[in-house]
Structure 1
Amino acid sequence: MSRVAPHRIILGGIALAIVVWCVFALRWDWLPKYLPLIGQGIWRTVWILAVTTALGFLLSIPLGLAQAAGPWYLAAPARVFCSVIRGTPLLLQLWLLYFGLGSLFPQFPWIRESDLWPYLRQAWPYAVVALTLSFAGYEGEVMRGAFRSVPRGQLEAARAMGMPRFTILRRIWLPQAIQRALPTLGGETVLQLKATPLVATITVVDIYAVASRVRQDTFIVYEPLLLLAVVYMIITGVIVLAFRQLERRLPSRVA
């Protein structure tokens, strides 16, 4: 049996002591009252993270492919889009969508009378669009490098065998590009999680907004922030473990 390293035992003891101190020395009498709201905030945070990451990654594939191998009239707009997204703050993009487009839509009667108006009046569609475009802009550059890193000899051999371009992309080029981009994709997903609190600035009630409400109602500062930190750390740990499992399984499937 392998022995546990002494420094890990010491660190574990320190962490346990901090947890015990936080449980018994701090105020948690507010927690039962706000527990349902906290659950809703966690669910909304995870939902926004999952949706924007999935949509952003799907959008990053054509963005990266256009820059890596597309004609100039596709590569140039993709490059400009990624440069604008990466060169401007996400908070600015979010406010431009919500306070900009959100204030323009009511001026058009055909929009107010459409079936989309009940959704366009809410804040969460603008949050989803802003976070999706932000993720696509950053991950598009990653996919560009991943597509270019695939050995050209494999693609030329597939063409020599008469394989159609779409089949080459689906069976050879895209799987290997995703395999190379996967570690960076995991890091970008964690950064996306850390960007989700910005949606609270446009009235979307995520877990950060719930913690702010608790502080405003109870004047208790540290306990809601500590709970918020624990929630983000747990979600981050799940993301890291999930991508590690993908990194272990994907090479065998690609091969």
Structure 2
Amino acid sequence: MNLSLMFDAMIVLPSGIVLTLTLTVLSLTAGFLLAVPLAFARAFGRPSLSLGVLAYTYVIRGTPMLVQLFLLYYGLGQIEAVRASVFWLVLRDPFWCALLAFSLNCAAHTTEILCRGLLSVPKGVVEAAAALGLKRLQIARLVTFPIAFRISLPAYGNEVVGMIKGSSLASTVTLLEITGMARQLVSSTFAPYEIFIVAGAIYLALTTLAVKATQFLERRLSIDGHPTRRRKVRFRPGLPRHRTTTPVP
């Protein structure tokens, strides 16, 4: 094992972290914004609408993200109508193709995650909110979705970790994120072992931070409240006990 090459990789590869995080954050944001209405349609929509959302999530979740990326980047460019349209200004750029593929994939997974959370909300809570005079949109925004998001947070944390690792596929369409930088460095040093060990360590650090952030958010959104507040209650001294005395005549 060449330690000097590993040291050089530790200097070069972090330059791809910015692109990796950019793709990950934008994909998660776009996917989440698209998944929220789709999850409500999947859980509470009419059968035809729910079936249409199911078909989308079934196809996207059942096919590899690499195939989806190749279809967008290489496949759409073969269609003359696409190349003659205004969409070609975006689709010819590998960054936007990767972002579109990752966002659609993330939206499909997040839709099913949030759908399970929405269906897990107790009906009694919704009925109580309706009894208070809240409208359906208010119930969905103030009651149903916050509870469903808290229920779905552990599974959504796995989706965040998966998207960080899945962003490495962007290297297949010439983007120089962490994996792309590693492949470029390997082509010049012919030392894949040392280079990809460093790349794997960087991904491990990023996913560890994502897991810790998810766990912190879970604690903040827990029903019991903030952990420091619970500690204050736990160590609060009890009230003094009063002796029961009988009046002396």
- Which category of TM-score, normalised to the shorter sequence, fits these structures? 0.7 to 0.9
> Which residue number corresponds to residue 155 of structure 1?
126
Structure 1 residue ranges without an equivalent (≥5): 1-24
CA distance in 1, matches of 2:224, 2:99: 32
TM-score (norm 1): 0.81
Structure 2 residue ranges without an equivalent (≥5): 227-249
How is 1:53-68 mapped onto 2 (pairs within 5 angstroms)? 53-68=28-43
Higher mean Cα deviation, 244-253 or 218-227? Answer: 244-253
Q: The residue matched to 1:251 in structure 2 has which SS?
A: coil
**Residue deviations 1:90-145, cap 9 Å, x none?**
11111111112233368654538xxx72x432101111111111111112111111
Kindly indicate which of the two structures has a greater share of residues assigned to helix: 1
**Residue deviations 1:137-158, cap 9 Å, x none?**
1121111110000001111121
Verify the 8 A CA contact 1:200 1:206 in the aligned structure 2. Answer: yes
Verify the 8 A CA contact 1:105 1:111 in the aligned structure 2. Answer: no
2:2 alignment partner AA? L
Residue 98 (structure 1) aligned to one of 73, 76, 79: 73
> Which residue number corresponds to residue 117 of structure 2?
146
Aligned CA distance change for structure 1 residues 34 and 163 (closer, same or farther; 3 Å):
closer
> Which residue number corresponds to residue 4 of structure 2?
28
- Give 1:246 deviation, angstroms: 0.3
Residue 248 (structure 1) aligned to one of 206, 219, 226: 219
Verify the 8 A CA contact 1:123 1:202 in the aligned structure 2. Answer: yes
Residue 52 (structure 2) aligned to one of 52, 77, 102: 77
Residue 93 (structure 2) aligned to one of 122, 135, 142: 122
- Give 1:39 deviation, angstroms: 3.2
CA distance in 2, matches of 1:244, 1:33: 31
> Which residue number corresponds to residue 175 of structure 1?
146
- Give 1:89 deviation, angstroms: 1.2
Larger gyration radius, structure 1 or structure 2: 2
- Give 1:29 deviation, angstroms: 4.6
> Which residue number corresponds to residue 20 of structure 1?
none
* Identity fraction in percent: 32
- Give 1:38 deviation, angstroms: 2.4
CA distance in 2, matches of 1:60, 1:107: 26
Q: The residue matched to 1:247 in structure 2 has which SS?
A: helix
CA distance in 2, matches of 1:156, 1:240: 35
Verify the 8 A CA contact 2:6 2:195 in the aligned structure 1. Answer: no
**Residue deviations 1:190-214, cap 9 Å, x none?**
1111211111111111100111111
- Give 1:160 deviation, angstroms: 2.2
> Which residue number corresponds to residue 229 of structure 2?
none
> Which residue number corresponds to residue 9 of structure 1?
none
User: Number of aligned pairs?
Assistant: 226
Verify the 8 A CA contact 2:6 2:198 in the aligned structure 1. Answer: no
TM-score (norm 2): 0.83
> Which residue number corresponds to residue 176 of structure 2?
205
2:141 alignment partner AA? R
Q: CA RMSD in A?
A: 2.3
